[in-house]
Amino acid sequence: MESSGILGLGCYLPAKKLTNKDLEKIVDTSDEWIMTRTGIKERRIAPKEFAASDMGVEAAKSAIKDAGLKPEDIDLIIVATVTADMAFPSTACIIQDKIGAINSAAFDINAACSGFVFGIVTAKQFVDSGLYKNVLVIGTEKMTNLVDWTDRSTCVLFGDGAGACIVGKSKARQIVSYFIGCDGSGSNLLRLPAGGSRTPTTEETVKNKLHFLKMEGNEVFKLAVKVMADAANKAITKAGLLCSEINLLIPHQANIRILMAVAKKMGLPEEKIFLNIEKYGNMSSASTAVALAEANREQRIKKGDIVALVAFGSGLTYGAVVIKW
């Protein structure tokens, strides 16, 4: 029987790599510290002239091709990003024009690192309701523009990239359950202080580096483990499954220690956790999008497998999607 599922997947990673060794020349850090504390070896840096939409376009084109569709077949584009090309128009509108998806509506969502998961859940509602047939969901981020390259506690963590999927009616790769949530009381833990209506851009905000992301790393760490495990458990239970029946957990790639703690909390062995953090660092909403596309491309998922995508991010937002491959 047909129900909402994943029709196609794609991703784009900039070619330029920034290794931990390169970072040693920029801030007071070491490859050893970054590897042991985060699990990150290198991250990708988008070309200067590339914005979130340019990376999103590449990921979108490969997902559309993978689904065997044409841009005109797309009914809706949802872009998850915290690094939009500009405040408005939405990055989704810019991508719609660039790929020639002339029949689609388009809008952005901001759920930070959980954005791609929230995007899939949103897309499913439109497909289930019968309003739209093919929804393109993109997670695209140029995080390296938001980091203060003199702050060693954050600049080592992030990278650039984009991933995309098409959600539509399908006999395979069906979305069997989901859960999304938020704890707004944690909104101060991870934020970009200036440039919005609260603190508009002034010479002062630029001088005080308020256009770079700020993070209470330790607090975020503790909450991340709890909310990711909770979100995944809720979605898995809603699907009528047990954690032990999950074949592959694809988590937001924030920190290897967070991911291992989540695995432990869920009683999952390490080999059931998909990891690419070593190569890309944290790409915010693009992390789960790229990880899902790579897990599929690397044949880490077999037909009939149960896959759980799980993420957390600024907000604090959190969510999980269970897919039967």
Residue ranges in contact with ligand ACO by CB under 6 A: 29, 33-34, 37-38, 112-113, 152-153, 156, 190, 215, 217-218, 220-221, 224, 254-255, 258, 282, 284, 313-314
Composition of the chain by helix, strand, coil, percent to 5 = 40, 25, 35
Q: Which amino acid is at 52?
A: A
CB of 112 to ligand ACO, least distance (A): 4
Backbone angles phi, psi at 287, to 5 degrees: -60, -55
- The answer to whether residue 252 is catalytic is yes
5 secondary structure, DSSP code: E
> Closest residue to ligand ACO, Cβ-based?
217
Toward ligand ACO, which CB reaches closer, 99 or 292?
A: 292
Q: What whole-number distance in Å separates Cα of residue 229 and Cα of residue 46?
A: 32
- How near is the Cβ of 294 to ligand ACO at its closest, in Å? 19
Q: Are 45 and 144 in contact (CB under 8 A)?
A: yes
**Closest of 137, 135, 119, 139 to residue 127, by C-alpha:** 135
Q: Distance from CA of residue 210 to its chain's centroid?
A: 24
Query: Which is nearer to ligand ACO, 33 or 50 (by Cβ)?
Result: 33
**Any catalytic annotation for residue 155?**
no
Q: Of residues 20, 233, 252, 276, which has the active-site annotation?
A: 252
Our CB check for ligand ACO shows the closer of 13 and 254 to be 254
- Out of 11, 113, 165, 243, the active site residue is 113
As measured in angstroms, the least distance from the Cβ of 240 to ligand ACO is 30
- Beta carbon of residue 114, minimum distance to ligand ACO (angstroms, whole number): 8
Nearer to ligand ACO, 40 or 93 (CB): 40
The three-class DSSP label of residue 312 is: strand
Based on the residue annotation, tell me whether 282 is a catalytic residue of this protein: yes
Q: Which of 134, 233, 276, 282 is catalytic?
A: 282
* For ligand ACO, the closer CB: 140 or 314: 314
Closest distance of CB 71 from ligand ACO, Å: 30
Rounded to 5°, angle at Cα 45 from 41 and 48: 165
Q: What is the DSSP string of 24-40?
A: HTTSS--HHHHHHHH--
Asked whether the beta carbons of 162 and 59 are under 8 A apart, the reply is yes
Q: What residues are labeled active site?
A: 113, 252, 282
